[in-house]
């Protein structure tokens, strides 16, 4: 019989992952978490000494985009390290076994690692008509989520669908879809909203969990503050153009080619919180606003219904030189978007005059 | 005897269930079922057609962007909008790089473990693996030290007793017949491909803001504003250099790793050149225009239908001959189960299957969330093999050249294409064609920019007040998994009706009212199964189609179930 390793640091070394790479990875994760460098030693020490915790990844009413997103982990070493940090036992899109072999693996984890394993959920959970809209191995998604999430140490809901039902729950919500925290109430859950979730943030949450054996600080939607605590508009590379009153008014016009503000093209950045402009996507290559298209507020609650039509401009924009936090931007504001749309003909212009720039937010020091 | 059941079929996109009956160690019949439904069709109703692509794209996050492209094409067709050449080039680049990336991921991460025994790689002599690698490719990572390092890494995982994603594999199954040295080579390239796919797909971030779900499509063009003199333009000389670097890297990986691996492994599984044949009917809408997108003669992959494996005749594609039926799907049609054209499609979900938890589906009646598409009443296979077959039979010099080259390397006749391995080879060959093509599109963009031709968007019908009171259209795309079509009906500035008929529905749909099997079901017949508890052989053929089930659960509107969003006046 094989002997399990008890020291992950040595295990990583044997897999060709040097201490230097591990430190680099932990350092990057701390940066994403907005935690000071002094936690680095503790992080590396915690990760090196841990026996690999078990993780299972469930897919329900999903498009597999969040699985694909984790496969695109942005730092070259991250995918390797994340795979090696955890024992990733069940994940339909990439696991070796199928059918009974896969189902037995999940059953074993729930039984043998009860209360200790992490579960990632991707996709919404259909609750209408006895759960017939999503079954795996003949069992409904509801039943599987109830069993697997209820027995886990914590549930990480990735993407808009697992967060709050996402697109699947959009009106008229034909299948009674819900996010995990509503479908399985009372469990310990962290929501990595976004369509898809950004793997940089999810990797950082995993590192935080491995280091402190707990989840990072959360907002009222159970999203981690480090990633969802600041308004996109306040972090946007096009913000100076907004403050100066320089707007794109037609796709491909001079302002569009010069990278001016996309507010008038329907950008929802002023009403959305996410660290998208900072961590960006695919190894920090770009993000939607950089690529010339407005933000659709994909990390915001119920964004599909509340932030569309996506090409209608926001009726009013908070945050003119004022720090607005995630707690102040919620469904109340986005509700106004839909209401405002009917009156959008009246909204010709928002404040064109230059505004003083926002103060940079304080670095969060909580740990 | 109860049927053999594989549920979940893993290493695919989505929720697929296969049931099969066995006789004498072989499959005597098979049923393919999609077990998840979202109802995106109902959700799209009443929304702004200009943003339909943002919603439709979420049909699938693996073949991300393909539904965005089909959607903008459908709306542009309805509103009669021509897009500028630059937008076509950017779309070709995004779609073409999706094809290359998707095929690489499919071969290494979704399919390889059906053929490659990871445990056996531990027994390999790294020096022998090194000499095999150097004999088939110039790829620089080929030293004994390199392969020994990979072997040590695998050993570390195995020794830990925590096998992670590999814990549930069928290691040691008698159908695994590669020598340990080749298994080690493939395991090494599994890891290299994991790294390649995330590096290369930065092209989607550059041109789409992110991947998955790039966000730069527009009805009328692309949001990727181009300007040679602007540092903040999405496309400028700096970005052109970046794109060129990425497409060169893709070409190298496909030529030096993917193609040599396919050509090295295929001859070691010769039996699979005669298994998994399936229907013999192939459909390709064709795509990747070099000029006028409305003219199929400009397509890199030709449009056409090949019937009964007859390579001497290519039939034209008539859009009116496409239908979908629900005889074995969990939907109701008004007026019975007769097949309907997509533009007339309906979806009233009505589950009549067993109450979960269940052990077996009622395959005599309705048994899937997928519908059953037919062309002229006939079941069709779509995908890379269909594109290569239709292209080969159409006389495409480029396709004939790569196909003949591969057949020569394998020392095999064209008949071997109609098989499980034929699908794998076709996928690799078109990845190679596409990887070679990408740079020419970057060059054209660069040249246009240098000549001051920077238009990326046609504004003529962006404003809904310029639209007719009603309009309808369709958009087609050859997605990595095959022929994809979206049909849209616009009324009063919003979507009245939306429907997608997607590649995996063609391939994985249940049988039709006449009892004709679809491609999956037909291809599994007569497959030998050594151990029903470990049905590796069935996975080989199913995976050779590269299933994408979230896509396949159709996206049609339900007539009579009205929902209207508050709309702008």
Question: How do residues B133-156 score in pLDDT, each as one tens digit?
Answer: 999 999 999 999 999 999 998 898
Please tell me the total count of domains within chain B.
1
Answer yes or no: is B424 within a domain: yes
Q: CB-based contacts of A118: which residues, under 8 Å, 6+ apart?
A: A53, A54, A55, A56, A86, A152, A153, A154, A155, A156, A206, A209
- Which residues of chain B does A92 touch, with a Cβ-Cβ cutoff of 8 Å? 8, 10-12
pLDDT of residue A17: 61
Angle (CA) A230 A233 A236, round 5°: 100
Nearest to A175 among B10, B37, B105 (CB): B37
pLDDT of residue A15: 55
Answer yes or no: is B112 within a domain: yes
pLDDT of residue B156: 85
Nearest to B210 among A103, A135, A281 (CB): A281
Is there a contact between A205 and A73 (Cβ–Cβ < 8 Å)? no
Distance from the Cα of B195 to chain A's closest Cα (Å) equals 7
Distance from the Cα of B395 to chain A's closest Cα (Å) equals 37
Q: What is the pLDDT of residues A226-280, one digit of tens each?
A: 999 999 999 999 999 999 999 999 999 999 999 999 999 999 999 999 999 999 9
Higher pLDDT, B409 or B1: B409
The mean per-residue pLDDT over the stretch B90-97 comes to 98
Residue B23's DSSP bridge partners are B26
Kindly indicate the confidence band of residue A10, based on its pLDDT and cuts at 50, 70 and 90.
low
Nearest to A94 among B8, B43, B109 (CB): B109
SS3 label, residue B283 = strand
Cβ–Cβ gap A309/B51 under 8 Å: yes
DSSP tag of A38: G
Answer yes or no: is B349 within a domain: no
CA dist., res. B127 & res. B142, Å (int): 10
Instruction: Please give the radius of gyration of chain A, using alpha carbons only, rounded to the nearest integer.
Output: 21
Q: What is the pLDDT of residues B410-428, one digit of tens each?
A: 999 999 999 999 999 999 9
Is there a contact between B170 and B113 (Cβ–Cβ < 8 Å)? no
Least confident of B94-103, B161-170, B173-182, B526-535: B161-170
The mean per-residue pLDDT over the stretch B294-319 comes to 97
CA dist., res. B284 & res. B316, Å (int): 10
CA dist., res. A248 & res. A260, Å (int): 6
In CATH, what number is assigned to the domain containing residue B544? 1.10.645.10
What is the chain A residue with the closest CA to B84?
A252
The mean per-residue pLDDT over the stretch B249-256 comes to 98
The mean per-residue pLDDT over the stretch A82-86 comes to 68
Answer yes or no: is B346 within a domain: no
Q: What pTM was computed for the model?
A: 0.91
What angle separates helix B420-450 from helix B536-544, to the nearest 10 degrees?
30
Query: Which structural domain, as residue segments, surrounds residue B515?
Result: 4-325+376-552
Q: Is residue A8 predicted with pLDDT exceeding 80?
A: no
What is the chain B residue with the closest CA to A310?
B51
Chain Cα centroid distance, residue B408? 26
- Which residues of chain A does B227 touch, with a Cβ-Cβ cutoff of 8 Å? 257-258
Per-chain mean pLDDT for chain A: 82
Tokens 């199928």 sit on residue: A98
Q: What is the pLDDT of residues B211-243, one digit of tens each?
A: 999 999 999 999 999 999 999 999 999 999 999
Q: CB-based contacts of B26: which residues, under 8 Å, 6+ apart?
A: B526, B527, B528, B529
* Domain A8-227, CATH among 2.70.150.10, 3.50.50.60, 3.40.50.700, 3.40.640.10: 3.40.50.700
pLDDT of residue B161: 83
By CB neighbour count within 10 A (0-12 exposed, 13-18 middle, 19+ buried), where does B411 fall?
A: exposed
Q: Which is it for the CA torsion B442, B445, B450, B454, positive or negative? A: negative
Q: How many CB atoms lie within 10 A of CB B404?
A: 12
pLDDT of residue A320: 40
pLDDT of residue B350: 95
**Backbone conformation region of residue B373, classed left if phi is above 0, alpha if psi is from -120 to 50, else beta:** beta
Residue A31: C-alpha distances to residues A38, A39, A78, A157, B143 (Å) = 11, 11, 14, 22, 36
Buried/exposed A21-46: b ≥16 CB within 10 Å, e otherwise: bbbbbbebbbbbbbbeeebeeebbeb
Buried/exposed A341-365: b ≥16 CB within 10 Å, e otherwise: beebeeeeebeeeebeebeeeeeee
SS3 label, residue B369 = coil
- Number of helices (H), then strands (E), in chain B: 17, 16
Q: What is the pLDDT of residues B454-503, one digit of tens each?
A: 999 999 999 999 999 999 999 999 999 999 999 999 999 999 999 999 99
Residue B55: which of A109, B45, B63, B239 has the closest Cα? Answer: B45
Q: How many CB atoms lie within 10 A of CB B270?
A: 12
By CB neighbour count within 10 A (0-12 exposed, 13-18 middle, 19+ buried), where does A190 fall?
A: buried
pLDDT of residue B568: 33
Q: CB-based contacts of B295: which residues, under 8 Å, 6+ apart?
A: B289
Is residue B176 within 8 angstroms of chain A, CB to CB?
no
Least confident of B158-172, B384-398, B550-564: B550-564
- Which residues of chain B does A61 touch, with a Cβ-Cβ cutoff of 8 Å? 36, 38
- Which residues of chain A does B232 touch, with a Cβ-Cβ cutoff of 8 Å? 237, 258-259
Answer yes or no: is B337 within a domain: no
Cβ–Cβ gap A177/B358 under 8 Å: no
Answer yes or no: is B568 within a domain: no
Kindly indicate the confidence band of residue A35, based on its pLDDT and cuts at 50, 70 and 90.
confident
Residue B39: which of A133, A118, A286, A2 has the closest Cα? Answer: A133
What is the chain B residue with the closest CA to A85?
B164
Answer yes or no: is B270 within a domain: yes
**Backbone conformation region of residue B209, classed left if phi is above 0, alpha if psi is from -120 to 50, else beta:** left
Residue A306: C-alpha distances to residues A179, A184, A272, A338, A343 (Å) = 16, 24, 11, 6, 16
Residue A153: C-alpha distances to residues A157, A209, B295 (Å) = 13, 10, 57
Answer yes or no: is B567 within a domain: no
Kindly indicate the confidence band of residue A44, based on its pLDDT and cuts at 50, 70 and 90.
low
What is the chain A residue with the closest CA to B358?
A138
pLDDT of residue A340: 36
DSSP tag of A358: P
pLDDT of residue A326: 52
SS3 label, residue B242 = helix
Domain ranges of chain A: 8-227, 230-346
Is residue A6 within 8 angstroms of chain B, CB to CB?
no
Q: Is residue B131 predicted with pLDDT exceeding 80?
A: yes
- What is the CATH class of A230-346? few secondary structures
Higher pLDDT, A352 or A214: A214
The mean per-residue pLDDT over the stretch A197-220 comes to 92
- Which residues of chain A does B201 touch, with a Cβ-Cβ cutoff of 8 Å? 72, 282
- Which residues of chain A does B209 touch, with a Cβ-Cβ cutoff of 8 Å? 281, 286-293
Residue A158: C-alpha distances to residues A120, A124, A307 (Å) = 7, 10, 20
Q: What is the pLDDT of residues B339-384, one digit of tens each?
A: 999 998 887 899 999 999 999 999 999 999 999 999 999 999 999 9
The mean per-residue pLDDT over the stretch B432-449 comes to 98
CA dist., res. B140 & res. A195, Å (int): 37
Q: CB-based contacts of B566: which residues, under 8 Å, 6+ apart?
A: A338, A339, A341, A342
Q: Is residue A4 predicted with pLDDT exceeding 70?
A: no
Q: CB-based contacts of B262: which residues, under 8 Å, 6+ apart?
A: B107, B424, B425, B428
What whole-number percentage of chain B has pLDDT above 70? 97
Is there a contact between A158 and A151 (Cβ–Cβ < 8 Å)? no
- Interfacial A residues in 19-48 facing B (CB < 8 Å): none
Kindly indicate the confidence band of residue A196, based on its pLDDT and cuts at 50, 70 and 90.
very high
CA dist., res. B4 & res. B521, Å (int): 14
Tokens encoding B111: 């399919």
The mean per-residue pLDDT over the stretch A151-173 comes to 97
């Amino acid at each position: 019989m094989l002997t399990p390793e008890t020291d992950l640091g040595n295990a990583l070394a044997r897999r060709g992952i040097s201490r230097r790479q591990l430190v680099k990875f932990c350092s990057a994760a701390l940066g994403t978490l907005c935690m000071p460098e002094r936690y680095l030693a503790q992080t590396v020490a915690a990760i090196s000494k841990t026996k690999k915790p078990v993780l299972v990844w469930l897919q329900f009413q999903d498009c597999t985009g969040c699985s694909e997103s984790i496969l695109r982990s942005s730092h070259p070493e991250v995918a390797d390290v994340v795979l090696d940090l955890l024992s990733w036992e069940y994940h339909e899109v990439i696991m070796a076994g199928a059918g009974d072999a896969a189902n037995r693996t999940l059953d074993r984890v729930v039984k043998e690692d009860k209360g200790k394993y992490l579960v990632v959920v991707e996709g919404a959970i259909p609750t209408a008509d006895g759960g017939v809209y999503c079954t795996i191995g003949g069992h409904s998604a509801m039943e599987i989520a109830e069993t697997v999430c209820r027995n886990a140490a914590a549930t990480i809901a990735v993407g808009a669908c697992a967060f709050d039902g996402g697109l699947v729950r959009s009106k008229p919500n034909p299948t009674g879809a819900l996010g995990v925290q509503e479908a399985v109430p009372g469990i310990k859950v962290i929501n990595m909203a976004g369509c898809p979730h950004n793997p940089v943030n999810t990797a950082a949450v995993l590192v935080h969990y491995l280091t402190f054996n707990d989840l990072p600080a959360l907002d009222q939607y159970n999203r981690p503050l480090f990633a969802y605590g600041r308004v996109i508009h306040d972090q946007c590379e096009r913000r100076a153009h907004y403050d100066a009153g320089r707007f794109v008014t037609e796709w491909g016009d001079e302002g569009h080619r010069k990278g001016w503000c996309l507010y008038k093209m329907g950008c929802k950045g002023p009403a959305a919180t996410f660290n998208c402009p900072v961590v960006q996507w695919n190894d920090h290559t770009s993000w939607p606003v950089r690529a010339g298209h407005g933000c659709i507020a994909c990390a915001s609650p119920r964004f599909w219904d509340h932030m569309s039509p996506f090409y209608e401009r926001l009726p009013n924009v908070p945050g003119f030189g004022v720090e607005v936090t995630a707690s102040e931007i919620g469904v109340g504001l986005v509700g106004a978007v839909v209401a405002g749309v009917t009156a959008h003909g009246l909204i010709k212009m928002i404040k064109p005059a230059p505004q003083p720039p926002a103060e940079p937010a304080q670095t969060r020091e909580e740990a | 005897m109860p049927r053999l059941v594989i549920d979940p079929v893993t290493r695919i996109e989505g929720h697929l269930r296969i049931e099969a009956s066995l006789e004498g160690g072989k499959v005597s019949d098979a049923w393919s079922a999609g077990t998840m439904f979202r109802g995106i069709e109902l959700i799209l109703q009443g929304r702004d057609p200009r943003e339909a692509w943002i919603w439709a794209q979420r049909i699938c996050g693996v073949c991300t962007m393909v539904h965005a492209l089909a959607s903008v094409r459908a709306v542009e067709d309805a509103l009669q909008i021509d897009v500028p050449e630059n937008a076509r080039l950017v779309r070709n680049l995004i779609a073409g790089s999706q094809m290359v990336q998707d095929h690489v991921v499919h071969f290494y991460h979704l399919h390889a473990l059906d053929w490659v025994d990871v445990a056996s790689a531990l027994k390999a002599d790294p020096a022998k693996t090194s000499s095999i690698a150097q004999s088939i490719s110039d790829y620089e990572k080929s030293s004994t030290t390199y392969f020994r390092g990979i072997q040590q890494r695998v050993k570390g995982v195995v020794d830990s007793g925590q096998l992670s994603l590999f814990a549930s594999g069928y290691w040691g199954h008698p159908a695994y017949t590669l020598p340990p040295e080749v298994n080690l080579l493939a395991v090494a390239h599994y890891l290299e491909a994991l790294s390649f796919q995330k590096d290369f797909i930065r092209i989607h971030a550059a041109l789409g803001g992110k991947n998955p779900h790039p966000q730069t499509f527009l009805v009328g063009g692309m949001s990727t504003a181009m300007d040679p003199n602007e540092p903040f333009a999405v496309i400028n000389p700096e970005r052109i250099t970046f794109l060129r670097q990425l497409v060169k890297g893709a070409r190298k990986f496909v030529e030096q790793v993917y193609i040599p691996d396919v050509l090295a492994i295929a001859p070691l599984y010769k039996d699979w050149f005669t298994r998994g044949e399936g229907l013999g009917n192939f459909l390709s809408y064709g795509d990747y225009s070099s000029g006028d997108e409305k003219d199929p003669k400009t397509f890199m992959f030709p449009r056409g239908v090949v019937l009964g494996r007859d390579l001497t005749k290519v039939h034209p594609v008539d859009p009116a001959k496409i239908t979908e039926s629900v005889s074995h799907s969990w939907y109701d049609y008004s007026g019975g189960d007769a097949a309907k054209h997509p533009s007339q499609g309906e979806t009233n979900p009505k589950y009549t299957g067993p109450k979960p938890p269940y052990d077996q589906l009622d395959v005599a009646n309705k048994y899937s969330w997928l519908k059953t598409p037919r062309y002229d009443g006939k079941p069709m296979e779509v995908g890379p093999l269909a594109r290569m077959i239709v292209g080969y039979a159409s006389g495409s010099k480029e396709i004939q050249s790569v196909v003949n080259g591969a057949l020569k390397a394998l020392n095999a006749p064209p008949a071997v294409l109609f098989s499980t391995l034929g699908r794998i080879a076709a996928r690799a060959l078109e990845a190679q064609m596409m990887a070679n093509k990408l740079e020419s599109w970057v060059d054209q963009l660069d040249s246009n920019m240098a000549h001051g031709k920077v238009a990326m968007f046609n504004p003529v019908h962006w404003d809904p007040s310029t639209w007719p009171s009603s309009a309808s259209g369709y958009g087609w795309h050859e997605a990595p998994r095959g022929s994809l079509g979206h049909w849209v009906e616009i009324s009063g500035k919003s979507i009245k009706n939306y429907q997608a008929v997607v590649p995996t529905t063609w391939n994985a749909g249940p049988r039709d009212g006449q009892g004709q099997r679809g491609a999956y079901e037909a291809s599994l017949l007569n497959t030998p199964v050594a151990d029903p508890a470990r049905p590796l052989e069935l996975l080989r053929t199913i995976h050779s189609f590269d299933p994408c089930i979230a896509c396949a659960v159709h996206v049609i509107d339900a007539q009579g179930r009205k929902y209207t969003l508050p709309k702008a006046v």
